[in-house]
Amino acid sequence: MFSVHSSGWCTESSFSSSTSLSKEHTPVSDTSHIHTPASGADEPDVATTCANSSSSLSSSHSPPEEELSAEVLAQQLVSQFRKSWLTLEEQELLPDNDSMATEDMLSLADEIRQRSRMRGTLTWAPPRFQIIFSTHPTQKRSVVVASQGFLCAGCGTQVEAKYLKKLRYCEYLGRYFCACCHGEGEAVIPGRVLECWDFCRYPVCDFSLRLLASVWHQPLFPRACLAKTKARELARFTEVQEQLVSIKKLLTVCRFSDGVLQELAQLPGHLTQEPLLVSLDDLQRIKRGQLLPQARALLHTAVAHVESCPLCRARGFICEFCQEPDLLFPFHTLTCKRCTDCKACFHTDCFRDEECPKCLRIETRSSQTHTELNSS
Ligand SMILES: [Zn+2]
Ligand SMILES: [Zn+2]
Ligand SMILES: [Zn+2]
Ligand SMILES: [Zn+2]
């Protein structure tokens, strides 16, 4: 039937955002990527070095040297942890845990092996705290459950064939869970928002429910993630947001702008600075039409400041193509075009890329200076 490889289900595309996952599940025999001493004879040296260095620090207390070693303390903790968390079967495979003498002899490679075994078993590992940006392909329950090795994805419990129908699907992780791990809670799924602008709540396991609640307000999603979304409210908000980001740069260098900046702080800071990142909460407020009016009102206040402030006005540009007296600013994203080289602003209609007057001026001046330098 299905033989499930230790790295089976976790390396699928749905888990692509956590690239380290497959490594953790490398079968324990494969330690080729771990640096280990060439022979067992090296190991006592390592332990001795640690014990010596610590004893020189606190020899006045004079307990046995090993007890002072951080390494020994770590080994004791590992031992305790192993007793409480490993399955009985795995504990039997390990040497006698009570004997610290055995512990001392463990090589670094052994430690790493055992530590990597603590996270789940060879065929199962608990879900990782990861942000999945995509939706999962629709697959038959039997196919997904088989790819999980007929284990609950949350706790690793083996599920008998007659109970497979009882397993509950987690829309976020794209896996099936037992009733203990999936209390039929519901959550907004990031992948569905980013790809389909879908804010419906879907059934998720308890782990995903906690994870998604904890990241709800966090700005984790770059604008590029939303490229597939054609929602008009999002496009409108982005337009205003770009102007806000641009005008905020102007305000932060103006010493009269404290009041306006305080008003701008009504929006989450990440919405008015680069790189443009959004949280799920921002996106839902955009969808509900709550964020756009607020952003527009703040933009209005900021523009009013710039137009009436002598310091900000001094940073404006006059279009060098038409010489019209109206002041242009980079935040006039709809009517003004910025030269990518000299950063000067021009009317979009006037601008011709190949002959930016300011760039020409800079070029002429620098070639004049060169000629003067050469002739002198
Ligand atoms: Zn479970
Ligand atoms: Zn100002
Ligand atoms: Zn012009
Ligand atoms: Zn230019």
Render 54-101 in DSSP notation, one character per residue: HHHHSGGG---HHHH-HHHHHHHHHHHHHHHHS-HHHHHHSPPTT-HH
CA distances from 174 to 88, 147, 149 (A): 30, 11, 14
Helix (H) or strand (E) holding 327: strand 327-328
Q: From ligand 3's centre to the CA of 182, what distance in Å?
A: 62
Rounded to two decimals, the pTM is: 0.65
Residues with CB under 5 A from ligand 4 (ion): 339, 341-342, 356, 358-359
Q: How confident is the model at residue 373 (pLDDT cuts 50, 70, 90)?
A: confident
Q: From ligand 3's centre to the CA of 239, what distance in Å?
A: 22
Residue 376's pLDDT is 65
Residue 54's pLDDT is 36
Query: What percent of the chain clears pLDDT 70, i.e. is strictly above it?
Result: 70
3-state SS class at 345: strand
CA distances from 288 to 50, 169, 234, 292, 293 (A): 60, 28, 11, 9, 11
Q: From ligand 2's centre to the CA of 313, what distance in Å?
A: 7
Q: From ligand 3's centre to the CA of 271, what distance in Å?
A: 31
Q: From ligand 2's centre to the CA of 216, what distance in Å?
A: 35
> Which tens digits make up the pLDDT trace of 328-372?
999 998 889 988 889 899 999 998 877 888 888 898 998 888 877
Evaluate if residue 53 carries a pLDDT over 60. no
Q: From ligand 4's centre to the CA of 368, what distance in Å?
A: 18
- Which ligand has the shortest distance to the CA of 312? 2
Query: What percent of the chain clears pLDDT 90, i.e. is strictly above it?
Result: 52
Residue 369's pLDDT is 83
- Which ligand has the shortest distance to the CA of 127? 1
Q: Which two tokens stand for residue 5?
A: 């490889």
> Which tens digits make up the pLDDT trace of 98-121?
444 444 455 666 665 555 545 566
d(CA 41, CA 83): 28
Amino acid at the residue 163: Y
Dihedral sign, Cα of residue 75, residue 77, residue 80, residue 82: negative
Q: Which residues contact 86 (CB under 8 A, 6 or more apart)?
A: 94, 117, 118
Q: Which residues contact 256 (CB under 8 A, 6 or more apart)?
A: 305, 309, 311, 312
Q: From ligand 3's centre to the CA of 331, what distance in Å?
A: 16
Amino acid at the residue 8: G
Residue 375's pLDDT is 73
Q: Which two tokens stand for residue 213?
A: 């609640």
d(CA 320, CA 178): 69
Residue 106's pLDDT is 54
Q: From ligand 2's centre to the CA of 245, what distance in Å?
A: 15
Q: From ligand 1's centre to the CA of 120, what distance in Å?
A: 12
Residue 374's pLDDT is 74
Q: From ligand 4's centre to the CA of 17, what distance in Å?
A: 41
d(CA 194, CA 122): 34
> Which tens digits make up the pLDDT trace of 194-238?
999 999 999 999 999 999 999 999 999 998 899 888 899 999 999
Residue 251's pLDDT is 96
Helix (H) or strand (E) holding 177: strand 175-177
Q: From ligand 3's centre to the CA of 277, what distance in Å?
A: 33
Dihedral sign, Cα of residue 294, residue 280, residue 136, residue 163: negative
Q: From ligand 3's centre to the CA of 322, what distance in Å?
A: 4
- Which ligand has the shortest distance to the CA of 358? 4
Nearest partner of 124 among 93, 145, 94, judged by Cα = 145
CB-count burial class (<10 Å; 0-12, 13-18, 19+) for 282 = buried
pLDDT, greater one: 146 or 56: 146
User: Which residue reads 């976020």 in tokens?
Assistant: 172
Residue 319's pLDDT is 93
pLDDT, greater one: 311 or 51: 311
Q: From ligand 1's centre to the CA of 137, what distance in Å?
A: 22
> Which tens digits make up the pLDDT trace of 157-200?
999 988 999 999 999 999 999 999 999 999 999 999 999 999 99
